Amino acid sequence: MRLRTVSALLMSLLGSGLALQIQCYQCEMTDDCAAPEFIVNCTVNVQDMCQKEVLVNDDGILYRKACASSSACLISSSGYQQFCTGKLHSVCISCCSTPLCNGPRQKRRPLPSSGAAPTGLPLLMLVLLLLDSILC
């Protein structure tokens, strides 16, 4: 009985905590920017990923970083995959979903273009639901 109340409370807390906000680096420069002044708060529940674009042009490498929605980022990332050659005029776009993950030389696990990785939150809720039904 009591556990049910506790987990219900937890669930509602989680529910209100579903306002998902991450921070990303935002810049457009020849440097793989990582200074604190380039950190921005992404739009809650809309921009759930950090995007990093690396362009190779005649002047060298240009980095373009920003918050992005996962759908937009994954679409451009897969759309530009064929242009990600590492040579002149190469364009590589990567997406990641942890805070500040578009910093320099981040060990990024490339996301499969087939879909976004699920966040941990639904799993946590599932576990709570399971606990609830087992223990009450």
Ligand X SMILES: *[C@@H]1O[C@H](CO)[C@@H](O)[C@H](O)[C@H]1NC(C)=O
* Residues near ligand X (CB under 6 A): 39-41
DSSP bridge partners of 126? none
CA diameter of the chain = 68
Nearer to ligand X, 55 or 65 (CB): 65
Nearer to ligand X, 83 or 99 (CB): 99
Answer whether 62's CB lies under 8 Å from 30's CB: yes
| Least gap, CB of 21 to ligand X (angstroms) | 8
Element (H, E) at 91: strand 91-96
| The two structure tokens encoding residue 91 | 């364009």
| Least gap, CB of 41 to ligand X (angstroms) | 4
| Least gap, CB of 39 to ligand X (angstroms) | 6
